[in-house]
Amino acid sequence: MAFYYPEPSHTFSEYLLVPGFTSEECIPDNVSLKTPLVKYRKGEEDCPISLNIPMVSAIMQAVSNDTLAVALAKEGGLSFIYGSQSIEDEAAMVRRVKSSKAGFVISASNLTPDATLADVLALKEKNGFSTVAITEDATPTGKLLGLVTSRDYRITRMSTDIPVREFMTPREKLITAPAATTLKEANDIIWDNKLNALPVVDDQDHLMYFVFRKDYAEHKEHPLALQDADKRYLVGAGINSKDYAERVPALVEAGADVLCIDSSEGYSVWQKKTIDFIREKYGDTVKVGAGNVVDREGFRYLARAGADFVKVGIGGGSICITRETKGIGRGQASALIEVAAARDEYYKETGVYVPICSDGGIVFDFHMTLALAMGADFLMLGRYFARFDESPTNKLMVNGAYVKEYWGEGSNRARNWQRYDLGGKNDLAFEEGVDSYVAYAGSLHDNVEKSLYKVKSTMCNCGVINIPDLQKNAKLTLVSATSIVEGGYHDVTLRTTGGGQ
Ligand code: IMP
């Protein structure tokens, strides 16, 4: 007879936290959100890689490119660059993150001199940046030919088909800095010459970075930035269980700090084979996460296979239709609670702590706190990050409001068949994700700061100031459908709209 779980499976919104005693030390400024990313042994001083905030960005085309990776690493989190692209392109994104240093930014908007004012405006609309590098081949590291900023054109006076070469500030008029310039020196040049952006070029006059006036101050404001010993940002990369023999070496060579097998269902021999390949070739020096699983058995299989962390969640993603299409999955809260218990049990048995990541389904900021309280060591978010300036997708105006595009890896748009394929035809036979819009929400920094402030405040209400204590001491209660109604405003008529999230 089939196995039946005795209880229905639950998700985040069906739970609430019950406050604990708040002492004088429980204030948001005292809260540390530091958390382990990869496994470590009992008694080891420090986890080999820790996050400074418990957030990683989803392995998705619409979420994790190099721009978002740098922005998130500045806050103390980590991106996993999407694997549903060619090995060369993924490695190039990793390389760009690793070659961008704090305060030095790889150019995000690039055109050739043959582009038009219309192209400049379209690029600005698309990614929000007003400085456009004009390079020989429109790449961020091409030979520098000029610069366009909003000071170079007036939309009211100029035709939009005028070529860039006619109004850009040409190379010979640009003040630039050589490759070896330090951030302090760059900042001095910016102030002495009243610049907004300083291009840094190599000895062949290829563009390497920009240093922006606004970023210098901002750089000082990122005490939690996640960096390696050479002050380069940490970055992860998605791999799959098909082409790992080629993809893994390319990503390791590009400098990826941690890998993650990206699969919709990870309790499979293919994940073990992928980990075996990595262990044989690199031993423990290359870190790799695995998943996704939703129960104890799945966790134990991947932990024993040698995964450095295990990702939890099937069917809860905002763009996900796996449960509707295939009838597999589990409420995210139930999955997390069971897997967290399995992780603790495994730690007791073996002395190895394998962190778990709650992947998908975080809608409200309080879901973050709940997921951590339920035992997650860190959270993977897709929709959340897709809404920000730094995500790779287009910002569009739809029905009078700005939106960003967001599509699932199992949608026809992404065609990430490696994530779903179990052999047979190498193509998506059916979709497991949708192509959608999400409300545009501004900059990553502002949003992450606000969300985590809420998490910290709630932790203080629970009487804890770090994640391990939240996991140990949180008191969670299931709520009835009727008390969910009680939780929103009720029996009043709103005078103004807004508030809430
Ligand atoms: P979100 O944060 O709720 O948007 O969920 C993001 C997560 O959904 C990702 O990290 C993946 O685990 C999962 N996911 C991404 N694309 C798809 C898809 O097309 N179908 C099902 N799940 C997906």
Q: What is the pLDDT along the chain (501 residues), one digit of tens a residue?
A: 999 999 999 999 999 999 999 999 999 999 999 999 999 998 876 789 999 999 999 999 999 999 999 999 999 999 999 999 999 999 999 999 998 777 788 888 899 999 999 999 998 888 778 899 999 999 888 999 999 998 899 888 889 999 999 999 999 999 999 988 888 889 899 999 999 899 999 999 999 989 988 766 666 678 899 999 877 899 999 999 999 999 999 999 999 999 999 999 999 999 999 999 999 999 999 999 999 999 999 999 999 999 999 999 999 999 999 898 899 999 999 999 999 999 999 999 999 999 999 999 999 999 999 999 999 999 999 999 999 999 999 899 999 999 999 999 999 898 887 777 777 665 677 888 999 999 999 999 999 999 999 999 999 999 999 999 999 999 999 999 888 888 888 888 888 765 545
Burial-class residue 39 by CB neighbours within 10 Å (0-12, 13-18, 19+). buried
Distance from Cα 242 to the centre of ligand 1, integer Å: 20
Closest among 35, 81, 34 to 355, alpha carbons compared:
35
Q: What is the SS3 assignment for 142?
A: coil
Looking at 320, 357, 460, 462, which residue is catalytic? 320
Global model pTM greater than 0.75: yes
Alpha helix segments (H runs only) across 16-100: 66-75, 87-99
Looking at 96, 300, 330, 419, which residue is catalytic? 419
pLDDT of residue 216: 65
Burial-class residue 68 by CB neighbours within 10 Å (0-12, 13-18, 19+). buried
Q: 205, 220, 235 — which closes off a domain?
A: 220
Distance from Cα 229 to the centre of ligand 1, integer Å: 32
Q: Which atom of ligand 1 is nearest to the CA of 361?
A: 3
Q: Domain check: are 205 and 247 in the same one?
A: no
Which range of residues forms the domain containing residue 53?
12-100+225-487
Distance from Cα 82 to the centre of ligand 1, integer Å: 12
76 marked as binding residue: no
State how beta strands 352-353 and 40-41 pair.
antiparallel
Q: Domain check: are 84 and 195 in the same one?
A: no
Q: Domain check: are 196 and 235 in the same one?
A: no
Active site residue 320: yes
Q: Domain check: are 188 and 244 in the same one?
A: no
Report how many domains make up the chain.
2
Active site residue 462: no
From residue 63, give the alpha-carbon distance in Å to each of 68, 114, 409, 447.
7, 30, 10, 15
Mutation probe of ligand 1 site: the residue of 56, 309, 320 with most atoms within 8 A of C-beta:
320
164 with 111: CB under 8 angstroms? yes
Q: Does residue 494 belong to any structural domain of this protein?
A: no
262 marked as binding residue: yes
50 marked as binding residue: no
467 marked as binding residue: no
Q: Ligand 1 — pocket residues by CB below 6 A?
A: 58, 60, 264, 317-320, 322, 359-362, 380-384, 408-411, 432-433
> For residue 252, what are the β-bridge partners?
none
Q: Domain check: are 355 and 475 in the same one?
A: yes
Q: Domain check: are 271 and 152 in the same one?
A: no
Nearest residue CA, atom 17 of ligand 1?
A: 408
pLDDT of residue 218: 62
Q: What is the SS3 assignment for 448?
A: helix
Q: Domain check: are 68 and 174 in the same one?
A: no
Closest among 221, 216, 218, 147 to 188, alpha carbons compared:
216
Q: Domain check: are 468 and 331 in the same one?
A: yes
Q: Domain check: are 76 and 157 in the same one?
A: no
Q: Which atom of ligand 1 is nearest to the CA of 434?
A: 19
